[in-house]
Amino acid sequence: MTSSKRLTIAMQKSGRLSDDTQALLKRCGLKLNLQDRRLLAHVANMPIDIMRVRSSDIPGLVMDGVCDIGIVGDNTLEEAALERKLLGSNCEYIRTKGLNFGGCRLSLAMPEEFNYQGIESLNGLRFATTYPQLLKRYAQENNIDIDFCLLKGSVEVAPRVGLADGICDLVSTGATLEANGLKEVEVIYRSTAALIQNPTPLSGEKQEIFDTLLQRMQGVMKAKESKYIMLHAPKDKIDQVSELMPGKETPTVLPLAGRDDLVAVHVVATETFFWETMEALKALGCNSILVMPIEKMME
């Protein structure tokens, strides 16, 4: 079990989620030195320890209370929860927050030449997958009878070597499927990275650290999705300028030294600020339009 004073976070050691996870924690102000080979790293400036492990070990470490919280893909989490439930192991967790990276889908894919006529045409076929529990659940929910073989990697070669008729694997762009002569026929699960925690209440000290971390994570995520927009606008066009702002957010209007006709307009936009909007603002007589990234936010 974890110590009562330092919050322990499980994260992927190396792979698709590790860089984004590390970047998120750093932007939350954690001083990390993950260069060395140690599996357990102390955060220098906060009472937090980081445990770096395989993705598939993270759900179990959190569910068993070895780590207080973890950052893992929903796909890995759900697969582990289903498997542990089946085995009678502890499978309780809280999914505290979805994160804005690691987006992917778990899909069924068939060789390009396969004549796909809806999910019934998959009846009796065999699928190679790393996610047998998610696949079984999908088959049950959709009343289809399929077989599976478990592969931990290179799933997409299975149909070509005669191991399976199709695959059930993670897809983000679809380029890997295409490169292997496969086509996506059904999406069975959508996933992002998520912050999870053990359901047992934390000690007061740890809860405080966790609350701070969570608030910072929210600030980092919101900042990533937001832009700070500054421009000079004709004083008599403020209403039209406000109308054009993404999400119609109310701007701050400030006087410009020595100008009676122009004002400075500042706004935090939480929606995409398109080139077309900038062009429309310019057409209204606005100039010096700046769109800047925001590093941190606290409301």
100 is a site residue for ligand ATP (CB under 6 A)? no
Residue 22 touches ligand ATP, criterion: CB under 6 A: no
3-class SS letters over the chain: CCCCCCEEEEEECCCCCHHHHHHHHHHCCCCCCCCCCCCEEECCCCCEEEEEECHHHHHHHHHCCCCCEEEEEHHHHHHHHHHHHHHCCCCCCEEEEECCCCCEEEEEEEECCCCCCCHHHHCCCEEEECCHHHHHHHHHHCCCCCEEEECCCCHHHCCCCCCCCEEEEEECCCHHHHHCCEEEEEEEEEECEEEEECCCCCCHHHHHHHHHHHHHHHHHHHHHHCEEEEEEEEHHHHHHHHHHCHHHCCCEEEEECCEEEEEEEEEEECCCCCHHHHHHHHHCCCEEEEEEECCCCCC
* Binding residue (CB under 6 A) for ligand ATP from 16, 42, 97, 232: 16
Between 91 and 291, name the residue whose CB sits nearer to ligand ATP.
91
Q: Please give the residues from 170 up to 229 whose contact with ligand ATP meets the rule CB under 6 A.
A: 170-172, 191
Assess 75 for contact with ligand ATP (CB under 6 A). Answer: yes
Q: Does 21 sit near ligand ATP (CB under 6 A)?
A: no
**Which range of residues in 51-59, 112-120, 248-256, 264-272 is near ligand ATP by CB under 6 A?**
51-59
Q: Does 15 bind ligand ATP (CB under 6 A)?
A: yes
Asked whether position 154 contacts ligand ATP by CB under 6 A, the answer is: no
Q: Which stretch binds ligand ATP (CB under 6 A): 41-49, 54-62, 138-146, 275-283?
A: 54-62
Among 73, 159, 219, 251, binds ligand ATP (CB under 6 A): 73
- Shortest Å, Cβ 56 to ligand ATP: 5
